[in-house]
Amino acid sequence: MGPGALQKKLEEEVEVYKKIQKDISKTSGLRTQLDVQLNENKVVKEELDLINEENVVYKLIGPALIRQDLEEARQNVSKRVDYIQQEIKRHGNTIEKLEKDAETQRDNIAKHQQQLQQMMMKQAAK
């Protein structure tokens, strides 16, 4: 492989690395949104646990407040918390995988840079 081909391969490796970094950033942003949603839903769950059957619970649907059964509201919020926790875990696993991919890619880039430098030094020595 000549210096031109090696330079092209290095540029391709850098582009792949940039894409992985972009994916990490995007997934981290989504995970942050899920953390916020989880905290909000935990607060709602705590509030619902404080009230009893005598209290009236309303759910905002569009512009209207609709009366909702307390137990149904508790179940819905619990399911939502469970779902968000699963999504957070899934995004965490994705981030882990992407970070491993990024590390591998950094190693590939370093290897190609080293090869290119060695080639350039050999050509300069001629």
In a domain, 126, yes or no: no
In a domain, 109, yes or no: yes
% of the chain with per-residue pLDDT over 90: 79
pLDDT greater at residue 5 or residue 42: 42
Closest CA to 45 of 92, 86, 84: 84
> Tens of pLDDT along 80-118?
999 999 999 999 999 999 999 999 999 999 998 998 888
User: Which spans in the chain are helix H?
Assistant: 3-50, 70-125
In a domain, 116, yes or no: yes
For position 1, what pLDDT does the model report?
64
The CATH number of the domain holding residue 83 is 1.10.287.370
Closest CA to 17 of 115, 120, 112, 119: 112
Q: First-to-last CA distance in the chain? A: 18
Number of domains in the chain: 1
Q: Which structural domain, as residue segments, surrounds residue 76?
A: 3-121
In a domain, 23, yes or no: yes
Round to whole Å and give the CA distance between 116 and 119. 5
